[in-house]
């Protein structure tokens, strides 16, 4: 056995088990999710927005700055703990989960990695205590073809002037700090793309309509309108013309967050099905005493455990500083399939009750569908996986 194999053999157990500290962290998030999120889910779903008090609690508990270094007011914790939080919140409510997810795995993550010291000192403490972030890449004509964006940034000497429209922006209504991608030179293709930190009150910036969605309805998904928006020269995130690197590398990590969200959804649906099948009686006995139902529950348990291990593996690799691109793509594809499959099966196990809003499983199914779409569609993930495995990586 060579050194690499020995190293992998040594690492592997740690990829699939939680330490005592991680178990304690998970328990604290579950307590918060059960005690504070669950009682608000129905109203938030009906109103189509997150509860303001719940948002404040997410900040108070440090959930909005899990990886942020302590010197900037954050918890200074691991990426893996962020993944645990996202999973536990999604078990109760996917909208709350993605709210925390975007803040941690996309916006804060990008600032920690790419911002200079001045930008870190300015924005990280605010995002740790009170200000929500959003990540603005997508446009009407640039979804999977992310670098076909039309939003333009023009150097005006003392400032950058950005004009364009962004679509599908998660946390759009709540956010005050946005990472906006624009091109400084369309002729340069992806090499002209630059990332900017834009504040909500900058001149020329506006939040447009909120989308009326199938699932994650309490999560705001909006358009952004930049009309000659004036952005200070110092608010370039990373290097000019290197925005493509910021977006690619940040989204690679964000996909593990989406995987965790899907695992949480699947877990919530699975638990609901377990409970219902133990209580529902037909032919004089609980329906979980029938082998046909037992086998379906067993299949759900297998799929759920496999998805969780894929997500945890990708997160562990990221924290260990190892390559995780393939593993993140695999985790996102598989977990999104599992979340949709398990929540759909839960509806069937509930029978007619599963199809009405008085019971929780139809919401889990609606919330699951987005997993195969945002932060890189399943087809794009399959393309990434295929390129890596055919090149021997």
DSSP state of 93: -
Total Cβ atoms within 10 A of residue 380: 18
Strand pairing category for 193-199 and 236-237: antiparallel
**Residue 147 to residue 247: CA distance in whole angstroms:** 10
Active site residue 375: yes
**Residue 360 to residue 219: CA distance in whole angstroms:** 17
- If you count DSSP H runs as helices and E runs as strands, how many of each does the chain have, helices first? 13, 10
Token digits for 161?
Answer: 């002037």
Residue 150: phi and psi, rounded to 5, are: -105, -15
Total Cβ atoms within 10 A of residue 23: 12
**Residue 7 to residue 203: CA distance in whole angstroms:** 53
CA 377 to chain centre: 13
Q: Among residues 140, 165, 142, which one has the least CA distance to residue 152?
A: 165
Which ranges of 67-145 does DSSP label H, i.e. alpha helix? 79-92, 94-101, 109-114, 117-129
Say which of 87, 161, 253, 375 is annotated catalytic: 375
Token digits for 291?
Answer: 């082998």
Element (H, E) at 279: helix 243-279
Q: Which residues pair with 139 in a beta bridge?
A: 142
Kindly report the CA angle at 249 between 323 and 176, in degrees rounded to 5? 140
CB 147 within 8 A of CB 195: no
**Residue 285 to residue 293: CA distance in whole angstroms:** 12
Token digits for 305?
Answer: 């455990």
Catalogue the active-site residues.
Answer: 375
């Amino acid at each position: 056995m060579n050194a690499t194999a020995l190293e992998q053999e040594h690492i592997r157990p740690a990829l699939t088990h939680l330490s005592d500290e991680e178990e304690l962290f998970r328990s604290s998030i579950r307590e918060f999710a059960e005690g504070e999120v669950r009682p608000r889910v129905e109203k938030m779903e009906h109103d189509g927005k997150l509860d303001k008090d719940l948002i404040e609690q997410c900040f108070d508990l440090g959930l909005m700055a899990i990886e942020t270094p302590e010197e900037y007011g954050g918890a200074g914790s691991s990426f893996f703990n962020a993944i645990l939080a996202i999973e536990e919140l999604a078990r109760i409510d996917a909208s709350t989960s993605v709210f925390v997810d975007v803040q941690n795995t996309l916006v804060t993550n990008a600032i920690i990695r790419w911002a200079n010291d001045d930008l870190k000192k300015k924005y990280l403490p605010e995002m740790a205590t009170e200000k929500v972030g959003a990540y603005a890449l997508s446009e009407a004509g640039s979804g999977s073809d992310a670098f076909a964006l039309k939003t333009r940034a023009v150097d005006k000497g003392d400032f950058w002037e950005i004009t364009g429209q962004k679509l599908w922006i998660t946390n759009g209504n709540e956010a005050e700090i946005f990472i906006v991608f624009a091109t400084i030179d369309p002729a340069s293709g992806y090499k002209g793309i630059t990332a900017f930190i834009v504040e909500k009150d900058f001149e020329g910036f506006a939040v447009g309509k909120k989308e009326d969605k199938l699932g994650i309805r309490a999560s705001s998904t909006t358009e952004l309108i930049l009309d000659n928006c004036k952005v200070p020269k110092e608010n370039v995130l990373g290097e000019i013309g290197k925005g493509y690197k910021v977006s690619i590398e940040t989204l690679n990590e964000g996909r593990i967050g989406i995987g965790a969200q899907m695992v949480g959804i699947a877990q919530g649906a699975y638990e609901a099905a377990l409970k219902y099948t133990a209580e529902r009686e037909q032919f004089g006995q609980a329906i979980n005493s029938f082998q046909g139902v037992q086998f379906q529950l067993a299949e759900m348990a297998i799929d759920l455990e496999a998805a969780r291990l894929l997500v945890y593996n990708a997160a562990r690799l990221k924290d260990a500083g190892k390559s995780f691109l393939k593993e993140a793509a695999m985790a996102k594809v598989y977990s999104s399939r599992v979340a949709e499959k398990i929540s759909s099966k839960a509806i069937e196990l509930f029978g007619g009750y599963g199809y009405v809003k008085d019971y929780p499983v139809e919401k889990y199914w609606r919330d699951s569908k987005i997993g195969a779409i945002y932060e890189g569609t399943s087809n794009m993930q399959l393309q990434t996986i295929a390129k890596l495995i055919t090149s021997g990586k």
